[in-house]
Structure 1
Amino acid sequence: MNRFLVFSLVVLMLVAMLAGCKANEQDGVMDESSLLDRKASKFTSADTGIEIQASSTNSKYPLANLMDGKDNTAWVAGNQGSGAGEYLMINFASPRQVGVLKLVPGYNKNNDIWFANNRLQEIELEFSDGSTQRAGFDGSMRSYRINIGKAGVQWIRLNILQTYPGERWADTCISELGFE
């Protein structure tokens, strides 16, 4: 099959999926009675060649939201609860220099939504070279930069260790993720 045709089909599927999510998006994340896709999910950015796999995903808030450049969207873990033990596996198309991980560790849609949902408090990053690095967040609604400074990185696993509890929903959200 022609590569262009395959690429076009993938783009069309992503656009349709995102349009459906936008149409169904509410001011917050559904409660336990909502339909959740608790299976691992995967997203590949055609622009960056980065593939991300999650331990679980709420199907209304897909992994594509992590790299859409919009702070007012979010990936949401599919399992209700504190979020401890959930992870994102980030694979690079080829080994690369990673200076900084940029992260918005909650649902940055607005102030009410930020505090209504779980937000990251502490994470552990595991790297393809076997090393680890921990990072903490103070709970404020903003983008954070985590200095990494590693060359030859093939993959990073972001493990959620601890979250700030949401005032309304028991789920864990991340609005944006990127690398410099």
Structure 2
Amino acid sequence: MDKLKHSFLSVLVSFLIGMVGQSLFSQNIKISRDSLITIVEFDGAFHNKYTLKRLMVDTCKASSVLRSKNQDYSENNLIDDNDHTAWVEGLSGSGIGEKIRITFKNKSALPYVIRIVPGYSKSEETWYNNNRVANITIRTIGVGIDSEYIIDEWKDVSFRKDSLSKVSISPQYIDISQNYIQHMGYNDFVAIEFEIMEVDDVGAIYNDTCISEISFYEIDKLIKAYSSDEYEKIKN
């Protein structure tokens, strides 16, 4: 881990105790044309503005896949940079309890932001004909000082819904930095895991739950550190 991250994490750990369970969607993530630009994190004294860079996925494994002779619904569709393809779970039922586990090529990676498309966004019709993910649990997995695996988890990651109480047909962004960093009781980050806890099946024809894409971003460079007064003036 480089010196910038180490310093930042050390301060942030002490500041963020007790924040588990709060919403993981953050107003501090700046998005332009569906691309992540920056993130602002408060370290207890300053609002630090960072650029973000994409993390490259090494492996992506799902607990089940819908098999079809005519269509590929494998977990590879989650990381193919194509929102019009999708992973579709393959067990009977609505998909609750299905899991996805992802590892990264950079073994020291620390994913700060997750971009997820929690349905099949090939078309509006496809989106609403299939189940959408409404709530997930996110777990981070690492190796502790005694070389044993440590799993940290938090719940209540609910996706935004539209005026019809359906999960919105758009990418959604989750800032996980404030939730997993405080639990960093391990030396090496290994993987991140998702478990489907609730689905949105309003108006769905098929009882299949889909996710089109999952991608990850880490902090890259510090742009500027703002005092609280300075940040209040520019944040809107």
Fold shared per TM-score above 0.5: yes
CA-to-partner distance for each residue in 1:7-47, whole Å, 9 max, x for gaps?
A: xxxxxxxxxxxxxxxxxxxxxxxxxxxxxxxxxxxxxxxx9
Q: Aligned pair 1:126/2:154, yes or no?
A: no
The structure number with the bigger radius of gyration is 2
Alignment partners' CA distance in 2, 1:167 and 1:56: 20
Shift of 1:49: 4.4
Alignment partners' CA distance in 1, 2:57 and 2:125: 34
Q: 1:70 to 1:119 in 2, by over 3 A?
A: same
RMSD: 1.8
Code of the residue aligned with 1:164 in structure 2: it is: D
Query: Are the counterparts in 2 of residues 65 and 175 from structure 1 also a CA contact under 8 Å?
Result: yes
Q: Any gaps of 5 or more consecutive residues in structure 2?
A: 1-54, 143-150, 162-166, 218-236
Alignment partners' CA distance in 2, 1:157 and 1:122: 14
**Structure-2-length-normalised TM-score:** 0.53
Query: Are the counterparts in 1 of residues 100 and 195 from structure 2 also a CA contact under 8 Å?
Result: yes
Code of the residue aligned with 1:156 in structure 2: it is: I
Alignment partners' CA distance in 1, 2:99 and 2:192: 10
Code of the residue aligned with 1:169 in structure 2: it is: Y
Shift of 1:102: 0.8
1:150-169 alignment, distance < 5 Å: 150=181, 152-165=188-201, 167-169=204-206
Alignment partners' CA distance in 1, 2:57 and 2:204: 36
- The residue aligned with 1:63 is 75
Identity %: 34
Query: Are the counterparts in 1 of residues 57 and 102 from structure 2 also a CA contact under 8 Å?
Result: no
Code of the residue aligned with 2:81 in structure 1: it is: G
Alignment partners' CA distance in 1, 2:57 and 2:122: 27
**Structure-1-length-normalised TM-score:** 0.69
Q: Any gaps of 5 or more consecutive residues in structure 1?
A: 1-46
- Structure number with the bigger relative contact order (C-alpha 8 A, sep ≥ 6) is 2
